[in-house]
Amino acid sequence: MKYLFSDCEQEIANIWRTYAGFTIRPVPSTIHYYQRLIEDLNSNSPSFLYGATPEIRSIFQTLNKPLVVRDQSLTIIRAMGLLTTSGAPIAANEVIQIDHWLERDLQSYDFLIVDHAINMLLWEQFDDFFQIALEQLNDDGIFVCHLLIKPDEVFTKQSFDQVVNDYHCGLIDNIYDLASRLNFICYDDGTYQMGWQHTIHQLGAYQLSALMPDLDFINQFKYCNAMFTCPPQACFEHLASQYFNIVEVFYPHEYDYCQFEPVYVLQKRKL
């Protein structure tokens, strides 16, 4: 299935622009955090990016640092490249790999970074992902992992009417948190998954129309077919800690939903 239901690079880039502020795009505080981490890199060897996040690629382009970009789709890489500082589908500092997240790379790196690409795996695959990342990371390297985690049950157990009421009462004060809260009430405890198409299917056009014109949820997200695996934070940390030391956890702060989008800085556990 085509990601974003399109195979046109410019169309994908145009759609992706409309997602700014929503949970699938890094917000400014996250980008600034990435900037600091990348600026602090002492190594001149290539870093490794899982996925094609344009904001991360732009930082590496501005600093003229070499970057290996891996995604399962060349179309997505090239489309996201149109949104980078260079505006080029593939920048001069980039080497491209078309492969699955779980395929091993023969090289090792001082810096690995993933922005939500891990959420596109099944929970059962997270362990394999960590093992592979461990193999690819040099002994003193850094692995930066930004992901969605399971929202608190106070949000996943709400009804649609409660979310609408919270919005109209001002307890939800922006459409970005509103969109996330709709996803939260459609969270699947069995698979740890949620996603835009799942929410559209579960809530239906009639219910979602109650939020218009403030948020036309169906029109906003009709092209995004991604499902996100969002494990409970304790489960994620328990698994990650089998392979890595958690050096730091950063929480972006622009919106309420950001409390469920931590950025982990990980290093290899010392034996």
Q: What percent of the chain has pLDDT over 90?
A: 90
Q: pLDDT at position 271, please?
A: 60
Angle between helical axes of 175-184 and 160-168 (0-180°, round to 10): 160
The per-residue pLDDT for range 48-83, each reduced to its tens digit, is: 999 999 999 999 999 999 999 999 999 999 999 999
CA distances from 195 to 116, 191, 209 (A): 13, 12, 18
DSSP alpha helix (H) spans, 157-195: 160-168, 175-184
The per-residue pLDDT for range 19-41, each reduced to its tens digit, is: 999 998 999 999 999 999 999 99
Helices (H) and strands (E) in the chain, counts: 11, 9
Token digits of residue 202: 């579960």
Domain 3-149+231-268: top CATH class: alpha beta
* 90: pLDDT strictly greater than 70: yes
Confidence at 203, pLDDT banded by 50, 70, 90: very high
Cα-based angle 6, 10, 15 (whole degrees, multiple of 5): 65
Average pLDDT over residues 127-131: 97
The ranges assigned to domains in the chain are 3-149+231-268, 153-226
How far apart (Å, rounded) are the C-alpha atoms in residues 208 and 194?
Answer: 17
> What are the b/e assignments for 168-191, b being 16+ CB within 10 Å?
eeeebeebbbbbbbbbbbbbeeee
> Residues 145, 114: contact at Cβ < 8 Å?
yes
* 1: pLDDT strictly greater than 80: no
Q: What is the 3-state secondary structure (H, E, C) of 47-87?
A: EEEECCCHHHHHHHHHHCCCEEEEECCHHHHHHHHCCCCCC
